[in-house]
A = this chain, B = another copy of it.
Amino acid sequence: MDVLLTVKMDDSLRKPLIEQFPTVRFFFDDIESEKLEEAEVIVTYGNDLTQSLIERAKKLKWIMVASAGVENIPASIVLERDILVTNAQGIHRAPMSETIVGYIIAISRSLPTIERNSARKIWDQSVRSTEVEGQTILLLGPGTIGQEVAKRLKPFGVKLIGMNRSGRHVPLMDETITYDELLETVPKADVVLSILPSTEETRRLWKKEHFEAMKETALFCNFGRGDFVAERDIVDALQRKLVKAVVLDVFENEPLPEDSLLWDFDNCYITPHISSESDGYMPRTLDIFRPNLTAWLNGDPLSKFTNVVDMKKGY
């Protein structure tokens, strides 16, 4: 059986995999590889698969996406051919929540300004800063990652407001609101943080009026998906100084085009969709993949697999 892996892995990870599964032929190559036609399994970051490539991959029966989001996987053909899709949800927990908390602290405590001064050999004690303590954090998407963020923020003495469909209480949240209550809640927030996946409900959910409702001293962070808010609305909010700062890990177009106006703002922090990147990323992906591959080779039922994605729902 052939497995094509288009993800980056160094020898220290390849070797144990090859040794553990002697009956499997592993091909480490890009998606345009001639091995595509033979592959029964593809391991991918999820951004290289198109409808026509899947048409070419006639033997393909399982796509392992080394990422949490599967919105780049062409759903219709996958559903039609009943291709199994699994993902790596869960592995981002530590690194991503660390980066999010890191930015919330850094911007409250003016660390980027201090670093800029440090790089220019400037000793400036007049840099003003505030505190995380006492802030209200509005957490859009209090799911797996949201819980990890909340757990880490809690001892900083913050108030956490979560948002979900039902408004039912979510662990660690001081308060939970529904989607309908979003606009009226925004003015309370010192930090608005989206970790929402891309669904019909969340696409362009955040609009100009939401930025207008924010405190001028508040921070807007998007670590969910780029289609949550139109880029032009973020630019507008920055131009009108509606918010203190913006941190973005996701964008409508990735990589963010060179001529995007977002690059021009000192208070717009752009991280190139690597908030979950870490030395531990690929090892943990393989920790999910290996037991699934064993189950696959054994012909086990679907219930034996972990991280199975429902492509109808998109998560």
Please tell me if the beta carbons of B95 and A255 are within 8 angstroms of each other in the complex: no
Q: Nearest Cβ in chain B — how far from A126, in angstroms?
A: 9
Given A156-B152, A272-B125: A103 and B98 within 8 A (CB)? Answer: no
Q: Nearest Cβ in chain B — how far from A192, in angstroms?
A: 19
Please tell me if the beta carbons of B98 and A108 are within 8 angstroms of each other in the complex: yes
Please tell me if the beta carbons of B121 and A258 are within 8 angstroms of each other in the complex: yes
Please tell me if the beta carbons of B271 and A98 are within 8 angstroms of each other in the complex: no
Given A131-B279, A131-B280: A111 and B123 within 8 A (CB)? Answer: no
Please tell me if the beta carbons of A106 and B111 are within 8 angstroms of each other in the complex: yes
Interface residues of A in 92-151 (CB under 8 A from B): 94-95, 98-99, 101-103, 105-106, 108-109, 111-112, 114-119, 121, 123-125, 127-133, 151
CA gap between A274 and B102 in the complex, in Å? 18
Q: A269 in the interface, Cβ–Cβ < 8 Å?
A: yes
Please tell me if the beta carbons of B154 and A155 are within 8 angstroms of each other in the complex: yes
CA gap between A225 and B277 in the complex, in Å? 35
Please tell me if the beta carbons of A114 and B271 are within 8 angstroms of each other in the complex: yes
Q: A314 in the interface, Cβ–Cβ < 8 Å?
A: no
Given A106-B106, A123-B256: A132 and B98 within 8 A (CB)? Answer: yes
Partner of A115, one of B129, B151, B156, B269: B269
A109 neighbours in B (Cβ, 8 Å): 95, 98-99, 102
CA gap between A204 and B269 in the complex, in Å? 39
Please tell me if the beta carbons of B272 and A128 are within 8 angstroms of each other in the complex: no
Q: A21 in the interface, Cβ–Cβ < 8 Å?
A: no
Partner of A102, one of B106, B128, B270: B106
Number of interface residues of A (CB under 8 A): 52
Q: Nearest Cβ in chain B — how far from A130, in angstroms?
A: 5
Please tell me if the beta carbons of B111 and A99 are within 8 angstroms of each other in the complex: yes
CA gap between A108 and B275 in the complex, in Å? 12
Q: A72 in the interface, Cβ–Cβ < 8 Å?
A: no
Closest to A263 in B: B121
A280 neighbours in B (Cβ, 8 Å): 130-131, 133
**Interface-central residue, A151, A156, A256, by most chain B CB under 10 Å:** A156
Q: A278 in the interface, Cβ–Cβ < 8 Å?
A: yes
Please tell me if the beta carbons of A274 and B155 are within 8 angstroms of each other in the complex: no
CA gap between A98 and B158 in the complex, in Å? 12
| Cβ proximity bits A242-276 to B, threshold 8 Å, 1 near / 0 not | 00000000000001101000010010111111100
Please tell me if the beta carbons of B105 and A102 are within 8 angstroms of each other in the complex: yes
Nearest 6 CB-CB pairs, A to B?
A: A102-B105, A94-B133, A123-B255, A118-B270, A121-B263, A123-B272
